[in-house]
Structure 1
C-alpha cells in the first residue's frame, strides 16, 4: 500500500471509529445492551469492508488505472451486496437490535466517505509557480 493510500485509510478509519464509539453509546441508551452490540458489530463491519476495499483499490492502482477503476466498482458492488445479505439474514436475530445495526451502518458508511473525501482534498491541492516576468493579459 502506498503511503498516500495508507494516509487516506487512516484518515477515514479514525473518525469512523470515533463515530462508532458514539453510536455504541447511543445504541446503549436507546436499545440497551442489544443496541450497543448492534452498533459495535456495525462499526466492525463498516471499518473492515471499507479497509479491504481500499486495499484492493490500492493494489489495483499498481497494475493500471483501468484495473483500479474495475477494482473500485467491484469492491463497491461486493460491499453493497454483502451488507444487504448480512442485514437480510440477520433480520430475525434477537441477540442484537437490527434497527440500530442498520442505521449505524448507514451513518458510519457516510462518515467514512466524508472523511476519505476530506483527506483526499487535503492531499491533492495543486499549486502553480508562475514566473515573475509573465505579462498580465487580463481584459
Structure 2
C-alpha cells in the first residue's frame, strides 16, 4: 500500500467509526436495542464496503494504472448494487430497526466520502515522477565525462 493510501484509510475509518458510535447511541435511546443493532450493522457495512473499495482501487492503481478510472466506476456500481440488494433483503426484517439502519448507513457513507475527499485534498501526491540526477544528463554527456578523473 502506498504511503498516501495508508494514511487515507485511517483518516476515513476513524471519523466514520465515531459517527457510527454516535448513531448507535442515538438509535439505542430512540429505538432501543434493535435500533442500536441496526445502527451498528449499517456502520459496519459502510466501513467494510468502503475499505474493500479503497484497497481494490489502490492495487489497481499500482498494477494496472490504465484501468484505474474504469475500476472506480465499476466499484461504485458494485457498491450501489450490494447496498440495494442488502436493503431489499432486510426490508421486512425484525432483527433490527430498519430506520436506524438506514440513517446510520447514510450518515456513515456521507462521513466516509467527506473524510476521503479531505484526505485526498491534503495529500501531496506527485503527478510527475521526479528524475534522478543521472537521468537529467543527456546520454552524450554521461559517456564523455570520466568518473573521478582530475583535469
Same fold (TM over 0.5): yes
Structure 2 SS opposite 1:47: helix
Cα shift at 1:125:
8.1
Aligned to 1:136: none
| 1:49-106 CA-partner distances (Å, limit 9, x unpaired) | 0000000100000134331112211111111100110011101110101111111111
Instruction: Establish whether residue 28 from structure 1 lines up as the match of residue 28 from structure 2.
Output: yes
How is 1:36-51 mapped onto 2 (pairs within 5 angstroms)? Answer: 36-51=36-51
> Would you say how many aligned residue pairs link Structure 1 and Structure 2?
126
Aligned to 2:129: none
Aligned to 1:59: 59
How is 1:73-88 mapped onto 2 (pairs within 5 angstroms)? Answer: 73-88=73-88
What is the rounded CA distance, in whole Å, between the counterparts of 1:66 and 1:34 in structure 2? 45
How is 1:1-139 mapped onto 2 (pairs within 5 angstroms)? Answer: 1-124=1-124
Q: Which has the larger radius of gyration?
A: 2
**Long gaps (5+) in structure 2:** 127-151
TM-score relative to the length of structure 2: 0.80
Instruction: Give RMSD over aligned pairs.
Output: 1.4
Comparing 77-86 with 56-65, greater Cα deviation is found at 56-65
Structure 2 SS opposite 1:72: helix
What is the rounded CA distance, in whole Å, between the counterparts of 1:60 and 1:102 in structure 2? 31
What is the rounded CA distance, in whole Å, between the counterparts of 1:57 and 1:125 in structure 2? 16
**Long gaps (5+) in structure 1:** 127-139
Cα shift at 1:124:
3.0
Cα shift at 1:109:
0.3
| 1:100-131 CA-partner distances (Å, limit 9, x unpaired) | 111111111000000011111111389xxxxx
Rate the CA distance shift 1:70–1:125 in 2: closer, same or farther, 3 A: closer
